[in-house]
Amino acid sequence: MRRKIFTLIELLVVIAVIAILLSVLLPALNSARKKGQAIGCVNNLSQLMKGHFMYADAQDQWMIGSQAYQAGTKTSLGWAYFIVEAFPYVKKQIIRCNSNPILEPLLSYATNWSWRCYGMYAPKDRWTGTYYTDRIDETGDFAVLVDGTRAFHLTKMKGPSRIFLLSDSGSFASSPGVASYKMHPTYYLENSSAIFLLHINRANMAFADGHVEARSQSRLRSDGFTRMALENGTVLTF
């Protein structure tokens, strides 16, 4: 019995069909992967806010801002240290989004990893303009900056569902996109930090009432943001 041999034309047809199937399936698979990463990021932020609330419950409703001094020292550390190590409410592995294009190793020293995490809103940092003060009537005067320590008083917040605290963020100076511990809607801080639209050009944000949502470039602009970074690392200013 003769064995059937594929002709060159038949082989090319098979290859063309496979190429078409791949062109259809790969974008769908990539989209599914990105959606999965976005969901993981939302879960991270939700858990981090729970950690912050547990910390605040133990500290007379004071929540750590972007950074503070380690107890009994003048060593400044990022917010993550205080709910990961000083008070171990959450795991270190969730302090940043795995979608970030530059994931530096989370070394054992807090002076390294506490700066490489989601960005905390820094309303009374240097050169941050009037974004915070313009909204005090709406959101309350809840932020404090004393001797290098940043903090928020939860009881002084008005409408906490409107007050964003943590978000996808990155620094865009020497290492474009590396996770940054703080951000501001209108001004760059250390290493040119900005909110980072990592999830199909949306940024996940955690709010003072504990909910997390994704916001698009247009929504952020309507919220008064004038500085943000796209998924490809391009920083936009308006």
pLDDT tens across 37-71, in order? 899 999 999 999 999 999 999 999 999 999 999 88
Q: Give me the pLDDT at residue 222, please.
A: 96
Q: Flag whether pLDDT at 104 surpasses 90.
A: no
Q: Give me the pLDDT at residue 26, please.
A: 66
Cα–Cα distance for residue pair 93/106, rounded to 1 Å: 8
Q: Side-chain half-sphere of 40: how many Cα atoms within 13 Å? A: 16
Q: Give me the pLDDT at residue 5, please.
A: 64
195 vs 13, more confident: 195
CA distances from 35 to 31, 48, 99, 114 (A): 6, 20, 10, 27
Cα–Cα distance for residue pair 95/114, rounded to 1 Å: 9
Q: Flag whether pLDDT at 25 surpasses 60.
A: yes
Backbone phi, psi, residue 222, to 5°: -70, -25
Cα–Cα distance for residue pair 148/42, rounded to 1 Å: 30
Cα–Cα distance for residue pair 29/200, rounded to 1 Å: 14
Percent of the chain past pLDDT 90, that is, above it, reads 62
Q: Give me the pLDDT at residue 175, please.
A: 62
Highest mean pLDDT among 24-28, 72-76, 151-155, 176-180: 151-155
Contact in structure between 169 and 66 (CB atoms under 8 Å): no
Q: Flag whether pLDDT at 2 surpasses 90.
A: no
pLDDT tens per residue, range 70-103: 888 888 999 999 999 999 999 999 999 988 877 7
pLDDT tens per residue, range 220-230: 999 999 999 99
